[in-house]
C-alpha cells in the first residue's frame, strides 16, 4: 500500500501552514516543532528553508502585509484618498488572522517584494509633491496607527459588565460611550484615520 505523497517542502508551504496554525492556536502556539509536525517532517528539515523562528515570523508578517494589496495610487487618485484606502486594506489584512497585528508589529525585516512595492508607493507620493522623507513619514504614521488600533481590537478585554462600576465613577466618559464613543469599531477607526491623514503635510 503506497504512502500518501506530501507536497514538496518549500518556504511558501511553510508560511502558508504557519498562517493556518496561527489562526488555530495563536502566536504562542506557533513553534518550529509544531509547524514541523503539521508538515509531517522533523524540525531540522525546516531549517533548509527558514533558519530561525524570527525568520518564520517575519515571513508570516510579510505574507499578511502583501495580502493587503500594496502598491501606488491609481490613476487620478488623490494621495490622501489612497493613503486612507491603503490603511483600511491593511487593517482588514491584520484582522484576517489571529494575532495578526502582534506578528507584524514584532517583525524585524521586510521581504524583497514588500520592499519593492514600498519603493513604488514612496516614488508615487514624491511624484504627488511630497519629499521622500514626508512620504515615508506619511506611510509610517498610518501604518503605526493601524497596528496600534488592531492590537487593541485583537487584545483580550474584560466583559463590559465588569467595567460598568468603574465607568459609573466617570460620568462624562460614560456619556461619551453612550453617544457612540467606543474605543474600537469602524466609526472610531475612521475618525482617527481621517484626523491623522488630514493633518499630514505635503
Please tell me the distance from the alpha carbon of residue 17 to that of residue 93, in angstroms, as a whole number.
Answer: 17
* Residue 1 confidence (pLDDT): 37
- Write down the pTM of the prediction: 0.84
Average pLDDT, the chain: 86
* Residue 38 confidence (pLDDT): 85
The pLDDT tens digits of the residues spanning 49-90 come to: 888 888 899 999 999 999 999 999 999 999 999 999 999 999
Q: How confident is the model at residue 177 (pLDDT cuts 50, 70, 90)?
A: low
Angle at which helix 79-95 crosses helix 186-198, to 10 degrees, equals 140
Stretch 132-150: mean pLDDT, rounded?
A: 96
Among 67, 146, 63, which residue's Cα sits nearest to residue 111?
A: 63
* Residue 2 confidence (pLDDT): 41
The pLDDT tens digits of the residues spanning 95-132 come to: 999 999 999 999 998 899 999 999 999 999 999 999 99
Q: CB 21: neighbour CB atoms within 10 A?
A: 20
Q: Report whether pLDDT(41) > 50.
A: yes
How much of the chain exceeds pLDDT 70, in percent?
82
Q: What are phi and psi of 58, to 5 degrees?
A: -65, -40
Amino acid at each position: 500500500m503506497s504512502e500518501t505523497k506530501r507536497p514538496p517542502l518549500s518556504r511558501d508551504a511553510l508560511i502558508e501552514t504557519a498562517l493556518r496554525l496561527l489562526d488555530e492556536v495563536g502566536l504562542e502556539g506557533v513553534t518550529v516543532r509544531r509547524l514541523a509536525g503539521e508538515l509531517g517532517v522533523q524540525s531540522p528539515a525546516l531549517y533548509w528553508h527558514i533558519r530561525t523562528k524570527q525568520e518564520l515570523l517575519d515571513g508570516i508578517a510579510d505574507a499578511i502585509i502583501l495580502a493587503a494589496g500594496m502598491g501606488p495610487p491609481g490613476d487620478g487618485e488623490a494621495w490622501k484618498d489612497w493613503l486612507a484606502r491603503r490603511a483600511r486594506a491593511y487593517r482588514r489584512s491584520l484582522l484576517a488572522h489571529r494575532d495578526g497585528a502582534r506578528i507584524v508589529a514584532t517583525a524585524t525585516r521586510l521581504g524583497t517584494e514588500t520592499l519593492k512595492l514600498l519603493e513604488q508607493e514612496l516614488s508615487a507620493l514624491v511624484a504627488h509633491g511630497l519629499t521622500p522623507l514626508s512620504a515615508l513619514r506619511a506611510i509610517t504614521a498610518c501604518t503605526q496607527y493601524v497596528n496600534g488600533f488592531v492590537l487593541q481590537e485583537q487584545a483580550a478585554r474584560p466583559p463590559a459588565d465588569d467595567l460598568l462600576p468603574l465607568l459609573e465613577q466617570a460620568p462624562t466618559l460614560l456619556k461619551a460611550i453612550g453617544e457612540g464613543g467606543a474605543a474600537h469599531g469602524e466609526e472610531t477607526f475612521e475618525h482617527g484615520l481621517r484626523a491623522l491623514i488630514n493633518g499630514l503635510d505635503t
